[in-house]
Structure 1
């Protein structure tokens, strides 16, 4: 039986990214197939993120051997055994911003020192050679993994290859880190990119405070230009919301405008902090489940307990009020959506929203801007737009609507974002996550 959902995960692991990947790989083959893990910079630098992905599969290999030797069976990691995702290395810096990181929260290596704490659970350093396009190193390579395949191609090219080789509307991309890889794919071949069924984005803060600035969430802030470019593909006129072209940007990646004619609009479902933050894993809940697994000798329990304990300790310090720490399950929520997307409890806002990304504000970079004004908008019939794609912002001519600036009141312009506002249950997700990963 073919899997219900086939996905690409674009990620910068990171604690909650790692939990998201574990949740995806713990699915049954009928629920989910992970075709590609596209790795980017973000929470920590690119090579640390890549190391964490390789380590995850290394630990799972040890975990499966332990489960087999103790008679526990492979369940629930059916998808891990049924499919073999590709792992590809992507961007190591934003398109037009300075590199930043969240190692203050995730630890210097992205997983609170887990590699140093448990060197027997970390892969030999020769894993780095698997991704190098060099000759004469085959004898030094580690043995192939039964669970993943390294790619020597750039991640955004692998994204495009998979979209091109599969029927349109069959592949969903989950972006749970900065959106640089996805923006690069969209820019290089927008027509192929628009074969995607849906892009599911963990990012942004719409009606709540940000987590890196008062208005910005980390993934968006880390590459606001990339996010703006991908969001623009949801518009009938992408030029109307594209970020301004920055002149004389040395040593950075200024991408061209999209073609004037595109085959269709992108479907993009957004999971901002508004919905992800309340879905929490509490320390007591984890301890209750994981201690018995650790005592029994589970490599996966030992490995995850190390970085989750480090995270809970960090949250306790940040809160400083003595309350029980809870880890917000930002990235895993997107995977849960993929596993249960037909559940009617997933509810978006009633109407697609025109959400635009601020890319150059002194205090507001990375902000998800929504027009909350109650104003009549120009209808489809009488509104006109002229665009010149080679100059994506300055040459867009908007309707003459009194009081309108940048086409906020023109129905033909602006982004169309499917923002999620409710899930099947904040109170049940943590339990489901832990049960699926640890059995």
Structure 2
């Protein structure tokens, strides 16, 4: 039975990235498989990223061997299923931002690193990608124009579905020191290699968070789970009680050349009337021409991008700030059993 989701994870694995990789690699192989992990420059240098991924797989191997030795289920079914076939590929990506830091750091890093690539991906969510394609960046003196910015087809056979998890939603999902220590304690006592390794880097991370940020004290010290939340989204798609709530498709565009902002995402929030226009073909009869009073065709519902944005969980209105997802509440989520640790995601409603 093929997996429901096949993943390519582009990452600069530090702390929460590593937790996300663990969650993905421990998933039920009928739900998802990880085909490719590309490590790239980000908050962590690319060479360090690669070492972190190697360390991750090393400790997973140690953990599986230890569990087998002590008579526990080995877990990590996806990796064991791949042992006789295709294992995840690890590739080394860019070692520096690709856009030569052309935009300011107000952008999210993936956009900051290569704003044109991000804009082109978003354009694939439009019925008419040419309408929202980024402008071609200027070339340096003496250089030929880049050939990697070829045109998209005039119309797509299928629109790409893109779902974003902005910091607005990921920052409020925490792993707290107290919750982690309580959960991990029996695994440390049992000498789990994976428990020892995760505790080593999470202990230093919690200490750093406590020293840098107000409101982080003792067991209440927390770590935002930016990347794990994306994996959580895929794992819970078929579980309505835990599924994420998404916005309606937004005409979200990416700044690439300073024509609108200095590095930020752009959404048209004007109170102007929108022109839905049915299913008419914009590309017939000079449809690409600028419209007076609507440069960029922001008001034409047929021409913009259609990006989904995660805005919350389906059960947000029924939970309290102190609620934590524990081993009992995840008993219906088989994807979390392979990791042998309960899910530790907690929603901070007071900071939303």
Normalising by structure 2, what TM-score?
A: 0.79
Encode CA deviations 1:301-327: one digit per residue, 9 max, x unaligned: 111112212221222222134542211
Gaps of 5+ in 2: 317-322, 342-352
Seen in structure 2, the aligned counterparts of structure 1 residues 436 and 313 have a Cα distance that, compared at 3 Å, is: farther
Aligned counterpart in structure 1 of residue 94 of structure 2, from 91, 95, 106 = 91
Aligned counterpart in structure 1 of residue 128 of structure 2, from 229, 237, 241 = 237
Seen in structure 2, the aligned counterparts of structure 1 residues 93 and 239 have a Cα distance that, compared at 3 Å, is: farther
1:224 aligns with 115
Separation in 1, partners of 2:262, 2:67: 47
What RMSD, in angstroms, separates the aligned Cα atoms of the two structures? 3.2
Partner SS for 1:8: strand
Separation in 2, partners of 1:362, 1:430: 47
1:352 aligns with 249
Q: How far is the alpha carbon of 1:373 from its aligned partner?
A: 1.5
Gaps of 5+ in 1: 101-211, 389-394
Partner SS for 2:339: helix
Q: How far is the alpha carbon of 1:254 from its aligned partner?
A: 7.2
2:273 aligns with 376
Seen in structure 2, the aligned counterparts of structure 1 residues 413 and 99 have a Cα distance that, compared at 3 Å, is: closer
CA contact (8 A) 1:376 1:409 kept: yes
Separation in 2, partners of 1:99, 1:81: 43
Encode CA deviations 1:14-39: one digit per residue, 9 max, x unaligned: 21111111001111222222222222
2:70 aligns with 70
Residue correspondence of structure 1 range 184-333 to structure 2 within 5 A:
215-249=106-140, 255-261=148-154, 262-323=156-217, 324-333=220-229
2:319 aligns with none
CA contact (8 A) 2:215 2:221 kept: no
Q: How far is the alpha carbon of 1:289 from its aligned partner?
A: 1.7
Separation in 2, partners of 1:225, 1:60: 36
Seen in structure 2, the aligned counterparts of structure 1 residues 40 and 52 have a Cα distance that, compared at 3 Å, is: same
Q: How far is the alpha carbon of 1:268 from its aligned partner?
A: 0.8
Encode CA deviations 1:149-173: one digit per residue, 9 max, x unaligned: xxxxxxxxxxxxxxxxxxxxxxxxx
Q: How far is the alpha carbon of 1:363 from its aligned partner?
A: 11
Corresponding residue pairs, total: 317
CA contact (8 A) 2:132 2:304 kept: yes
Q: How far is the alpha carbon of 1:74 from its aligned partner?
A: 0.7
Seen in structure 2, the aligned counterparts of structure 1 residues 50 and 430 have a Cα distance that, compared at 3 Å, is: farther
1:46 aligns with 46
Q: How far is the alpha carbon of 1:434 from its aligned partner?
A: 8.2
Encode CA deviations 1:177-218: one digit per residue, 9 max, x unaligned: xxxxxxxxxxxxxxxxxxxxxxxxxxxxxxxxxxx95x5333
Normalising by structure 1, what TM-score?
A: 0.64
2:58 aligns with 58
CA contact (8 A) 2:37 2:89 kept: yes
1:397 aligns with 289
CA contact (8 A) 1:268 1:417 kept: yes
Q: How far is the alpha carbon of 1:60 from its aligned partner?
A: 0.6
Q: How far is the alpha carbon of 1:430 from its aligned partner?
A: 7.3
Separation in 1, partners of 2:135, 2:152: 16
The answer to which structure, 1 or 2, has the higher relative contact order (CA under 8 A, 6+ apart) is 2
Seen in structure 2, the aligned counterparts of structure 1 residues 355 and 218 have a Cα distance that, compared at 3 Å, is: same
2:349 aligns with none
Encode CA deviations 1:50-88: one digit per residue, 9 max, x unaligned: 22112111111111111122222213x221211222222
Residue correspondence of structure 1 range 129-140 to structure 2 within 5 A:
none
